[in-house]
Amino acid sequence: MNGVVVIDKPSGPTSRDVVEEVRLALGVRKAGHTGTLDPLATGVLPVCLGEATKLVQFLALDNKEYLATLLLGVRTDTLDTEGIVLTQEEPCVTREQVEAAVNGLKGKRLQIPPRYSAVKVRGRALYEWTRRGIDVEASAREVEIYDIRIEEIRLPEVIFAVSCSKGVYIRSLCAEVGETLGCGGCLSALRRTRSGNFREEEAVGLAGLTGEEKRERLSAHLVPLVELLPGLAVIDADPPLVERLRNGYQPDGEVLTRYHIPFLVAGDVIKITTHGEHLVAVARMLCASDELASWGEKRQAVKILRVFNDGTRCQRP
């Protein structure tokens, strides 16, 4: 079974727990998610199955959207309400001050991952070092907040929606707003509403279902490989080229001129399919499409990044 199922993760289990539940329900060997949600968080968790696990690195780059609740006046060691309370005070702030602090988060910024996070440092997750009492800090990473808007203010809570790049820790944003306002703050609730092209409207819950009911629901909502990465240009290959690709062939310009090639530039990532039904490969162009004819025989025109054995067509509901 190859494809992606979008799970509506409940609060409590880890993302790994959810992946394992899906894997066991469907009886597949390989499964993985495209971006961790903390145990506290709920919402969109795409789970890749079988050959789709080869796409995790591409899907993990997708932008995300969240609905978050900030609790002002409380600082914790984990930056959320599941941690140990370090300080607590009544937030004496105005609506205008809150709006200015939240809106100030927009744009590119360097963000250091929280000490309680799954980011790997020297071969171990950061939270493992922290729990051992070893002071290890991850390097700052550039992230971007594309848009952020306040949905509701009912002090000490502030509910806001945020659209951001991969790698953003909403906990850290909440703590930053709290420090800007001088009273501290932490995350009290978080829901991911979108991950790339996957939205909460298509996410499925598994709570209260029997094993057979889980299998049926997951199978009915499986997104096939060929429908993933819809923003990429597509080359539809014939069976002889498909066979060569699966045997390690890197196409040259002459071979590709036999196909309809959309306008592409060097560096563009593309999908290669067959009959529009099965995903064969994901590749990167080494030249522009209008240069293929002059690229010539024996000169590699694309670099194959991943090859898929997608032999079964998945039916969407």
Q: Model confidence over 51-72: pLDDT tens digits?
A: 999 999 888 888 999 999 999 9
Would strands 3-9 and 42-49 be described as parallel, antiparallel, or unpaired?
A: antiparallel
The arithmetic mean of pLDDT across residues 31-56, rounded, is 93
The arithmetic mean of pLDDT across residues 74-88, rounded, is 95
> 170-182: string of b/e by CB count within 10 Å (b at 16+)?
bbbbbbbbbebbe
Residue pair 125/14 in contact by the 8 Å Cβ criterion:
no
DSSP secondary structure letter of residue 202: G
Domain with CATH 3.30.2350.10 in the chain: 3-62+198-226, 64-195
User: How far is the C-alpha of 129 from the C-alpha of 284, rounded, in Å?
Assistant: 38
Q: In CATH, what number does 231-307 get? A: 3.10.400.20
pLDDT of res. 179: 96
Domain with CATH 3.10.400.20 in the chain: 231-307
Q: In CATH, what number does 3-62+198-226 get? A: 3.30.2350.10
187 pLDDT higher than 90: yes
Q: Would residue 17 show up in a list of annotated catalytic residues for this protein?
A: no
Of 96 and 312, more confident? 96
The CATH architecture annotation of domain 64-195 reads 2-Layer Sandwich (3.30)
Q: Please, which pLDDT band fits residue 316 given cuts at 50, 70 and 90?
A: very low
Place of tokens 């907040």: 145
pLDDT of res. 315: 39
165 pLDDT higher than 90: yes
Select which of 38, 62, 80, 310 is catalytic. Answer: 38
Q: Please, which pLDDT band fits residue 314 given cuts at 50, 70 and 90?
A: very low
Low-confidence winner among 91-100, 120-129, 223-232 (lowest mean pLDDT): 120-129
The arithmetic mean of pLDDT across residues 104-119, rounded, is 85
Whole-model pTM over 0.85: yes
What is the chain's alpha carbon radius of gyration, rounded to the nearest angstrom? 23
